[in-house]
Amino acid sequence: MSMFGSPSRRRILQLLALFGLGGKELARTAAALAESEARASDAWPKMQYRTLGKTGFEGSRLVFGCGAALMFWGKDDLLNAAYDHGVNVFDVGTSDYYRNAESNLAAFAKKHRDDIFLISKGLVGLDVQPDQTLSADERKQCAAAWSKALDQSLVDLETDHLDAYYIMAGNNVSLVRSDEMYEAFSRAKKAGKVDHWGVSTHQNAANVLGAAAETGRFSLAQIAITPVGWYDWNAKGVQEGSASMTAIRPTLDKAREAGIGLVGMKAARHLAGRWMGFGPDRPSAFDAAYSEAYKSAPLSPFQRSYAYVLAHGLDAVNADSQSMEHLKENFIAAATSQEYFPKA
């Protein structure tokens, strides 16, 4: 995908012929131009970076989402390509959900451990609902399950230390505010198992993010968000009644002011309904949020959604990459978002 227009090889050769260059010289020039175009098409833009909240880490704006990508088999070719081009944040999750993803990431993570920010996440063991008020006993159970998940993640990743560990599917305000959960994290941090605490949620994100900011305890939040508002995992689409991303910007800014690095996820999931098995594809679902100029940018609908959320309040976007083509598409969107929104 070319980000900028360029004269065609045919037109250049026509001009050279007009200047009297022909025969073998013209053939050699054609070959050189073909090679140059091939190199240009393979070029990756320079990755951009943001400080991830109070972690202080200068993280790539693309987070390599390893959970779904690695749950069945390793993909070191993709991991290495991402790393070689500047991706330095890798996010995975517990084997209780993502099967072998942590184990399949282990060798790569060990090789580059001093140069990457390694994140995983653990479940709390209970089926917690967004509007539920947890009892003291339930909070203790959640804290114990989360601590156990952290220990297992360390085993599966073949490491003794993680840069951050999230509460996975942390959709509940009383869970986020829980002293029992925070004490479990504090013990793990004191033991050298993890440096930073985070929360990841597909539901009730506005309330969860607000609560996390108020506690002052969290360094990271991974939230399901789209250009037109919050994404809801249960509905497999944009949350009913959600305000647009520009309207919820104050919520995002408040969290960032509290030292929380914001990572978006599911920014483009709603577009691929058929592939995910929940309805037709919706390539124009977010077009109402875009200007006419932005809609004409040389980006796919997926890239457009990633670049947009990065320019409207997020530090990074977590994207699952199942192939080299997919990785590069995601990479370009994250690396070039500022070109379309230079003042954002």
Q: Where are the domains of the chain?
A: 1-43, 45-340
DSSP state string for 68-82: HHHSSS--HHHHHHH
Give the pLDDT score at 195: 98
β-partners of residue 265 are 224
Residue 185's φ and ψ, nearest 5 degrees, are: -65, -45
Question: Rounded to an integer, what distance in angstroms lies between the CA atom of residue 328 and that of residue 295?
Answer: 20
Give the pLDDT score at 274: 74
Give the pLDDT score at 343: 77
String of b and e for 164-187 (b: at least 16 CB within 10 Å)? bbbbbbbbbbbbbbbebbbebbee
What CATH number should be reported for the domain whose range is 45-340? Answer: 3.20.20.100
CB 139 within 8 A of CB 178: yes
Question: Rounded to an integer, what distance in angstroms lies between the CA atom of residue 97 and that of residue 162?
Answer: 18
Question: Rounded to an integer, what distance in angstroms lies between the CA atom of residue 12 and that of residue 236?
Answer: 49
- Tell me the two tokens of residue 329: 């598409």
CA 17 to chain CA mean position, Å: 49
Q: Identify the three-state secondary structure at position 151.
A: helix
Question: Rounded to an integer, what distance in angstroms lies between the CA atom of residue 158 and that of residue 139?
Answer: 29
| Per-residue pLDDT tens over the stretch 295-343 | 999 999 999 999 999 999 999 999 999 999 999 999 999 999 999 998 7
- Would you tell me the crossing angle of helices 205-215 and 249-257 to the nearest 10 degrees? 20
| Per-residue pLDDT tens over the stretch 288-305 | 999 999 999 999 999 999
Return the number of other C-beta atoms located less than 10 Å from residue 302's C-beta: 19
How buried is residue 55: exposed, middle or buried, by Cβ count under 10 Å (0-12/13-18/19+)? buried
Residue 218 CB-half CA count within 13 A: 33
Q: Which residues of the chain have pLDDT under 70?
A: 1-42, 275-278, 344
β-partners of residue 292 are none
Give the pLDDT score at 19: 41
- What is the value of pTM for the model shown? 0.87
